[in-house]
Amino acid sequence: MSTAGYTQLPPTYGASASPGAALPNTESAADGDVPDDFKYGVTVGQSDISIRHAFIRKVYTILTIQLLATTAFGAYLRYMDATSGFLLRHVWTVYAAMLGTFISLAGLWWKRHSHPANIGFLSVFTFFEAYTLGAVTAFYKDSIVAQALAITLGLFIVLTLFTMQSRYDFSKLGSILFFSLWAVILVGFVQIFLPFNRAFDLVMAVVIALVFCGYILYDTHMIMHRLSPDEYIVASLDLYLDVVNLFLAILRILNNRD
């Protein structure tokens, strides 16, 4: 992470955090007493309507808590003079936090079906991510951060409502988004060693924002058709990463425009 000239691509975990296809639904004596809705071969969309509603409530409640905690902790790092000075003197802590996000993300994926271990890993991941975001936003103007936050939340709400009301099969976006994401990651890697000009950085930020708008549509649709009812933590994580990466892209757009 860097200063207001921030050009490095933000961490993009959304695609890699996806759990992929559900495991086949196999019957055995061991799962004979498990309700059909909670067997791993059954997706949320195939479950009873009450289970679908409960799943959605859990996902968006956890997501809201994550976003509020991230915003609060980021604001603390931004507005406390002592912590701002600490960040400047100890930049290594930001890189340590980034490493922590990867480790906790791996742990969360490993224990995604184990409660409360999955909640614990999600909390640790959110803490490290909030620290990283707080460090990044500390070097931007208040007005730019506020605008980026408002635009991000507005886009997320609109795209979520649109997806839930639409009959379109957004799973068709999967391949396009996957290759687009890897393309911007590759360009970002090149940009580390061969920095591009301000205009190209603005174009890349716009492309990244569009990619993660697409991922919000895709993930909102797919959490109902890919995950089992007990994987609400994974669903929350997918959407959280989409929001975070969209926020960072919009932050870059506004900073380049300013």
- CB–CB of 94/1 below 8 Å? yes
Rounded to a whole number, what is the largest CA-CA distance in the chain?
64
> Residue 211: what residue type?
V
Average the pLDDT over 45-54 and give the result. Answer: 82
- Residue 31 falls inside a structural domain: no
C-alpha closest to that of 22 among 4, 38, 9: 38
- 14 three-class SS: coil
- Residue 60 falls inside a structural domain: yes
**What pLDDT band is residue 85 in, cutting at 50, 70 and 90?**
low
For residue 5, the model assigns a pLDDT of: 45
- Residue 174 falls inside a structural domain: yes
- Residue 29 falls inside a structural domain: no
Average the pLDDT over 184-191 and give the result. Answer: 87
**What pLDDT band is residue 21 in, cutting at 50, 70 and 90?**
very low
Position 17 pLDDT exceeds 70: no
Q: What range defines the domain where residue 221 resides?
A: 43-257
**What pLDDT band is residue 79 in, cutting at 50, 70 and 90?**
confident
Query: In this predicted model, which residue has the larger pLDDT, 211 or 6?
Result: 211
- Residue 8 falls inside a structural domain: no
Judged by average pLDDT, the poorest of 60-74, 89-103, 174-188, 228-242 is 89-103
**What pLDDT band is residue 83 in, cutting at 50, 70 and 90?**
low
**What pLDDT band is residue 258 in, cutting at 50, 70 and 90?**
low
What per-residue string of b and e applies to 215-249 under the rule 16 or more CB within 10 Å gives b?
A: bbbbbbbbbbebbbbbbbbbbbbbbbbbbbbbbbb
Position 61 pLDDT exceeds 90: yes
- CB–CB of 221/170 below 8 Å? yes
Pull the structure tokens for residue 194. Answer: 């061969």
Position 154 pLDDT exceeds 90: yes
CA distance 120 to 115: 9
Mean pLDDT, all residues of the chain: 80
- Residue 154 falls inside a structural domain: yes
Q: Provide the percentage of residues in the chain whose pLDDT is more than 90.
A: 37
**What pLDDT band is residue 166 in, cutting at 50, 70 and 90?**
confident
Q: Tally the C-alpha atoms within 13 A of residue 157's C-alpha that lie toward its C-beta.
A: 7
Position 236 pLDDT exceeds 80: yes
CA distance 236 to 182: 22
Average the pLDDT over 61-73 and give the result. Answer: 92
What are residue 90's phi and psi, to 5 degrees?
Answer: -130, 65
Secondary structure element (H or E) that encloses residue 119, with its range: helix 117-137
C-alpha closest to that of 236 among 46, 69, 36, 25: 69
CA distance 92 to 154: 33
**What pLDDT band is residue 167 in, cutting at 50, 70 and 90?**
confident
Q: How many domains does the chain have?
A: 1
- Residue 147 falls inside a structural domain: yes
- CB–CB of 8/188 below 8 Å? yes
For residue 46, the model assigns a pLDDT of: 74
Q: Which residue has the tokens 């991230």?
A: 70
Residue 11: asked if its preceding bond is cis (omega within 30°), the reply is no
Express each pLDDT in 101-125 by its tens digit: 999 999 888 888 788 888 999 999 9
CA distance 53 to 21: 21
Rg over CA atoms, the chain: 19
The pTM score is: 0.79
The H-assigned helical ranges of 138-231 are 142-165, 174-193, 198-226
**What pLDDT band is residue 91 in, cutting at 50, 70 and 90?**
confident
For residue 53, the model assigns a pLDDT of: 87
Q: How many residues does the chain have?
A: 258
- Residue 38 falls inside a structural domain: no
> Residue 233: what residue type?
I
> Residue 105: what residue type?
L
For residue 194, the model assigns a pLDDT of: 79
